[in-house]
Structure 1
Amino acid sequence: MKLSSKEIKNRLSGLNGWKEENSTLMKTYRFPSYMDGVRFVERIAEAAEEANHHPDLLIRYGQVEVRLTTHDVGGISEKDFQLAQVIETLTG
């Protein structure tokens, strides 16, 4: 089920650095090297497969941009927040 703007705003307060942009949850992570970002994306990919929920990922030198949305509901759902919370644990 698609979350309301109010629900999204309330939930975002519990996620450090995440924001809502164009019906997606979005965060840019920074890394000291390109390969550190690639390894982070590998960890995200494994978690996404396990959750059967797949983010859009953009790798740049020293940065990884993560965008989450639930296409079948046309916006942000609980699945997006659940995966965002998992992704937060993968940075180390």
Structure 2
Amino acid sequence: MAGKEDLLTRAQVDEALTGLPDWRYCQGALVTVYKAPTAAAALELIAAVGRIAEEQNHHPDLDWRYNRVFIRFTSHDAGGDVTERDARAAAAVSSAAEDVGAEAEPALYRTVELAIDTVDATEISEVWRVALGYKKTPGNDLVDPYGRGPSVWFQETPTPNSSRIHVDVYRSKAESGPVLEKTAATGALMNRDYAPEWVVVTDRQGNRLCLCTEEGYQPDIPGQA
């Protein structure tokens, strides 16, 4: 098993994606959704993904919803970023999906995080960790050890927003445009100061969420500034 020595830079990830049209890059992972003709075909795809994972000794996060299969490849031993192994596995899965007649719907893949404004994360993070049954990451975020619930991160600021808790919704930049347009059409306040990395959305009652993309995200590669 390799480590960070096969970690891909953002430019290399983008290059790899030109040969992986079914896939998108999101939060240090290659992600997609496949829609199979039937639930039985979806199970065939899941079995094929399992065989690929065992053959390559590289296992994805996978979620089955009737005839749709949500798949996420990342390399945990490389700090949760994309390596050559992820690209190779994604290509094999695309071939398996074609064999069962599944169509890629990458726009359906999204990741949700819970963000909490605070002046001191250490004062409150343990409450959330224990109550949720989560574990703490090296970056002090909280994550579900089984990958089912949204992660929690603490945005330290001397001036916390009056709406201290907000949701971050991550999509690929390639899929974000229509969502931004539809959200703006609801009448929400759209702060685009940080676009395309994220857009702050405020509803009519002052509640916030952020629509985020992978833009600006860089893998942590040793030896690179």
- TM-score, normalised via structure 2 length: 0.40
Please give the alpha-carbon distance, in whole angstroms, between the structure 1 residues aligned to 2:54 and 2:34. Answer: 20
In the alignment, what sits opposite 1:41? Answer: 46
In the alignment, what sits opposite 1:4? Answer: 9
In the alignment, what sits opposite 2:73? Answer: 68
Partner amino acid, structure 2, of 1:61:
Y
In the alignment, what sits opposite 2:64? Answer: 59
Describe the superposition over 1:32-89 as per-residue Cα deviations: whole angstroms up to 9, x where unpaired.
Answer: 2222111110011011101000011110111001110000012000000011111111
Partner amino acid, structure 2, of 1:84:
A
Instruction: Name the SS for the 1:90 alignment partner.
Output: helix
Matching of residue 25 in structure 1 with residue 30 in structure 2: yes
Confirm or deny: 8 A CA contact 2:24 2:30 kept in the other structure.
yes
Greater relative contact order structure (CA < 8 Å, 6+ sep): 1
Which is greater in Rg? 2
Partner amino acid, structure 2, of 1:82:
R
Matching of residue 86 in structure 1 with residue 100 in structure 2: no
In the alignment, what sits opposite 2:108? Answer: none
Q: % of aligned pairs identical?
A: 30
Please give the alpha-carbon distance, in whole angstroms, between the structure 1 residues aligned to 2:12 and 2:89. Answer: 16
Q: Is there any run of 5+ residues in structure 1 with no aligned partner, and where?
A: none
List structure 1 segments (4+ residues) > 6 angstroms apart after TM superposition: none
Please give the alpha-carbon distance, in whole angstroms, between the structure 2 residues aligned to 1:73 and 1:37. Answer: 30
Q: Is there any run of 5+ residues in structure 2 with no aligned partner, and where?
A: 1-5, 100-225
Shift of 1:16: 1.4
Q: When you count helix as a share of all residues, which structure comes out higher?
A: 1
Please give the alpha-carbon distance, in whole angstroms, between the structure 2 residues aligned to 1:9 and 1:59. Answer: 27
Partner amino acid, structure 1, of 2:49:
I
Please give the alpha-carbon distance, in whole angstroms, between the structure 2 residues aligned to 1:15 and 1:62. Answer: 22
The Cα RMSD (Å) is 0.9
- TM-score, normalised via structure 1 length: 0.94
Please give the alpha-carbon distance, in whole angstroms, between the structure 1 residues aligned to 2:19 and 2:96. Answer: 17
Matched positions, count: 92
Confirm or deny: 8 A CA contact 2:22 2:94 kept in the other structure.
no
Instruction: Name the SS for the 1:67 alignment partner.
Output: strand
Instruction: Name the SS for the 1:54 alignment partner.
Output: coil
Please give the alpha-carbon distance, in whole angstroms, between the structure 1 residues aligned to 2:27 and 2:39. Answer: 27
Instruction: Name the SS for the 2:42 alignment partner.
Output: helix
Please give the alpha-carbon distance, in whole angstroms, between the structure 2 residues aligned to 1:30 and 1:22. Answer: 22
In the alignment, what sits opposite 2:139? Answer: none
